[in-house]
Structure formats: structure tokens, C-alpha cells
Amino acid sequence: MAHKKIQRTAKAILNALECPEGELSILIVDDAQIARINKTYLGRSGPTNVIAFPMTEGQFGDINPNLLGDVVISLDTAAREARDDCVSLESRFDQLLIHGILHLFGFDHEQTAEDSEMTVKEEQLLELL
């Protein structure tokens, strides 16, 4: 995945979410690395496709509202899911990047009421890309 392409995609997502000054970091890892992060920070075993760490939550979340947080994506899992879904790795990566960024904005698909709202927002953002 080309660094500049990922940067342009993230900027397009932030612009579409009306947060052009938003800052985030994107960490691309393998399954072993994301499994360690998943266990350490979320208490869950095994690899996952994307993890987001919002910086706008908690006691000091309002210090810098433009500092959104971190998105960690497993390229191994993204590649496997792309193959399984018969889509390009780039397309699957974009989906995961959108998903992670939406988590930084407070969307949570594990809450039933927000599940469809997050899915709709993901689909809208994919259309823009």
C-alpha cells in the first residue's frame, strides 16, 4: 500500500466527515502484532482486522479535539478478507480505514442501535472514494 495513497484516502474520509483539521495515526501491522495489541489493550485473543484508539475520550479527551487517535490495521487479515470477499486488497484496506476512523468519531457497531448507522456511514464514505 502506497503511503501517499493512504494519506489521500484518510484526508478524503476526514473531509467527508467535516473534520479536515483532524489528525490521526495509521499503523499497518501483521497478524502477530495486532494479536498482541488486541490482547494487551482489549483483552481479546487472536488477530483482528482493525483496532481504533480514540484520543477524544477519557479525562483529557478535550485537550486537543483535532487529535482523533490511532487506527491499527492488520495487512495479513485485510489480505485474507479481500481474497475471501473477492475484492482487491486496496478496496478492503479502504473499508477497514473507514471503519477505524468511524470508531475514532464514536461509532460503535457492537451497540445494536448504532450498527446500522455505522454501516450506512461506511457505505456512504466508500461511495465517495
Give the CATH number of the domain where residue 40 resides: 3.40.390.30
3-42 pLDDT per residue, tens: 899 999 999 999 999 999 999 999 999 999 999 999 999 9
pTM of the complete model beyond 0.95: no
Determine, yes or no, domain membership for 88: no
What does the pLDDT average to over 55-69? 78
Q: Which three cell numbers stand for residue 95?
A: 473499508
Determine, yes or no, domain membership for 19: yes
What does the pLDDT average to over 109-128? 74
Domain span holding position 6: 1-56+93-111
Determine, yes or no, domain membership for 74: no
Determine, yes or no, domain membership for 81: no
78-89 pLDDT per residue, tens: 999 999 999 999
Determine, yes or no, domain membership for 80: no
Q: How many domains does the chain have?
A: 1
| pLDDT for res 115 | 56
Determine, yes or no, domain membership for 37: yes
